[in-house]
Homo-oligomer: A and B are copies of this chain.
Amino acid sequence: MHKIISFYINLVNGSLNEKTVKKEPANLYDPIDYTLSLGGKRIRPALLMLANNLFDGDDKMALNSALAIEVFHNFTLLHDDIMDEAPLRRGEPSVYKKWNTNVAILSGDVMLMQSIQLLSKKNHPNLHRVLSIFNATAIQVCEGQQYDMDFENSTTVSIDDYLKMIELKTAVLLAASLKIGAVISNASSDNAHHIYEFGKNLGIAFQLMDDILDLYGNSKKVGKRIGGDVIVNKKTYLLLKAQELATGKSKKDLEFCLSSSVLDDDTKVEKVKTIFNSLNIKKLAVEEMNLFYNTAISHLDSIDANESKKRVFEQFAKGLMNREN
């Protein structure tokens, strides 16, 4: 991680941890403090600060918006954990488990409002533009979550549907963070567009890498068991691509693996991997991922700004995609 990104991560963490007056009612505000204290990489706010810096913006002008993005992101986690029935968040009980669903709903609502409050704390000439980007993005993130839930019960999800879903659910928030930083620093529309597209395409590439690593990664490096997505029939890029391409025996075999209740987990992962390999799924997924990654880099190249500052973004992108070497 480049030292300027670490600097911004520390700045964001410092601001989030600033002790404020104990707020009442406690059942509303304690879950918010708890959620923000669980940590997280703070990548989005750091990139917002970095984008603002790229166009020679003042850190002070951007910090509240950076915090807004982080609070918003944590709001989505709080409500997503209820919807996904996820008992843990960063290794600790999620809010709806530690308190209850009502507390998680209402505390989440307040976090969403706090993010708008942070975003519009200071009046500045670009406030209206920043709000437009943020509002549109926030709604897209909810659309992505709804598509993701809809897909669980759907048998007709296409690759295009899937790419649209991951774009909405995860990539646009990364993209908007960068664009808001750019807009606060008064960047041109062209530059704001290119940094948005850089973030969006990088976010999609990252999600595809995540899908690939589930089955083809090194379990030690990935930090979770190999084939976790396969075991629960998760509709990843790999599975959807295989369903698109499989015919004859491989189609039958795949259907058997997805519906069988007799296969143990290891055998299922092994069998599905064999089918994927016969269909060249890994290669196709890597090609798709590279397409998005290269599109991201070409948008970065198109930005009219200091070249050495731009290289920090490229270095970050490489690091994110494990492409250091």
Contacts and interface: CB of A to CB of B under 8 A. Distances in A.
Interface stretch (A131-139, A256-264, A265-273): A131-139
A323 B51 CA distance: 59
Interface stretch (A8-16, A144-152, A192-200, A280-288): A144-152
A28 B120 contact: no
Interface string A74-104: 0000010011000000000000000001100
A231 interface: no
Number of copies: 2
A200 B128 CA distance: 29
A102 B120 contact: no
Contact of A120 (B83, B106, B135, B139): B135
A235 B132 CA distance: 42
Given A116-B131, A116-B135, A120-B135, A142 B109 contact: yes
A27 B147 CA distance: 9
Contacts of A120: 128, 131-132, 135
A143 interface: yes
A246 interface: no
Interface residues of A, number: 36
A112 interface: yes
Contacts of A146: 25, 27-28, 106
Contact of A106 (B106, B110, B142): B142
Interface string A225-261: 0000000000000000000000000000000000000
Nearest to A135: B117
A123 interface: yes
Contacts of A114: 139
A150 B27 contact: yes
Given A110-B139, A138-B113, A143-B28, A105 B83 contact: yes
A203 B149 CA distance: 40
Interface of A: 24-25, 27-28, 79, 82-83, 101-102, 105-106, 108-110, 112-114, 116-117, 120, 123, 127-128, 131-132, 135-136, 138-139, 142-143, 145-147, 149-150
14 contacts: A24-B143, A25-B150, A28-B146, A79-B105, A82-B101, A83-B102, A105-B105, A106-B145, A110-B142, A112-B113, A113-B135, A117-B136, A123-B128, A131-B131
